[in-house]
Amino acid sequence: MHEQRREEAETHQVGDFFHGEKRYYDRNFEITVVKIFSGDCYVTHRPDEMMVTVLGSCVAACVRDPLTGIAGINHFLLPGAPGSFSRTHEAGARYGAFAMEQLINKALALGASKDRLQVKVFGGANVIDNSAMIGGRNVEFVLDFLARENLAITASDLGGDEPRRIHFYAGTGRVMMRKLRRKGDRRIIEMERQYESQINSDTVDGDVELFV
């Protein structure tokens, strides 16, 4: 019995994926963690899941229907509709217009009501030093999109120049946000540069934690 428990703990070790999925059981939080990367969109009806993503210039929208408990999150890098830039479903999710529509439609397909959706938005920092100001454009886009769709924002933290880590709890709708200020975490900037280029062709010192 002792040996079985040890093997179980090793299988679900914090930080490891298992069964080839982008999820793992975090014994510290005692919850299943689903990792969300650039271009991802994920919706769940399970209250025992926590969605986690890291944002630089990207924006993530978290939605939840408090009646059904259906919750979801997306993560996009570029604001505009894919248009001629993308002809595939997978590539389209990298763009804000597609990512937002995909998130809402997936939530509705599971049984959520658009009238009840609570929306929280994060990210859009101008971490990439160029004239494109992608972070600012993403912020402008998501605010405009939500206004046009008559979706009220219940919480947000947008803009600035610092990356963010987001923990979104499906069961309660709570979001834990941490601003990443240590130089080591600026690797996010390089990852976003690489990702932008691809589209077009931990405990941190000095963190700020917000609970919304």
Q: Which has the higher per-residue pLDDT, 23 or 151?
A: 151
Q: What is the pLDDT of residue 94?
A: 67
pLDDT of 89 strictly over 50:
no
pLDDT band at 2 (very low <50, low <70, confident <90, very high): very low
pLDDT band at 74 (very low <50, low <70, confident <90, very high): very high
Q: Which residues contact 17 (CB under 8 A, 6 or more apart)?
A: 23, 24, 35
pLDDT band at 185 (very low <50, low <70, confident <90, very high): low
Q: Are 175 and 120 in contact (CB under 8 A)?
A: yes
Beta bridge partners of 34: 23, 51
Q: What is the pLDDT of residue 192?
A: 57
Helix (H) or strand (E) holding 181: none
**Mean of pLDDT over the chain:** 78
Q: What is the pLDDT of residue 132?
A: 66
pLDDT band at 182 (very low <50, low <70, confident <90, very high): low
Considering 32-41, 105-114, 131-140, 194-203, the range whose residues carry the highest mean pLDDT is: 105-114
179-190: burial string, b at 16+ Cβ within 10 Å, e else: bbeeeebeebbe
Parallel, antiparallel or unpaired: strands 153-158 and 118-123: parallel
pLDDT in tens, 59-69: 999 999 999 99
Rounded CA Rg of the chain: 17
Q: What is the pLDDT of residue 103?
A: 96
Q: What is the pLDDT of residue 61?
A: 98
Is 0.95 surpassed by the pTM of this model?
no
Domains of the chain: 22-211 (3.30.1330.200)
Which structure tokens are listed for 66? 């408090």
pLDDT in tens, 129-158: 654 688 999 999 999 999 999 999 999 999
User: CA–CA separation, 101 vs 93, rounded Å?
Assistant: 9
Q: Which of 38, 53, 56 is nearest to 161 (CA)?
A: 56
Helix (H) or strand (E) holding 80: none
pLDDT in tens, 30-59: 899 999 988 899 999 999 999 999 999 999
pLDDT in tens, 162-173: 899 999 999 999
Residues in the chain: 212
Q: Which has the higher per-residue pLDDT, 119 or 192?
A: 119
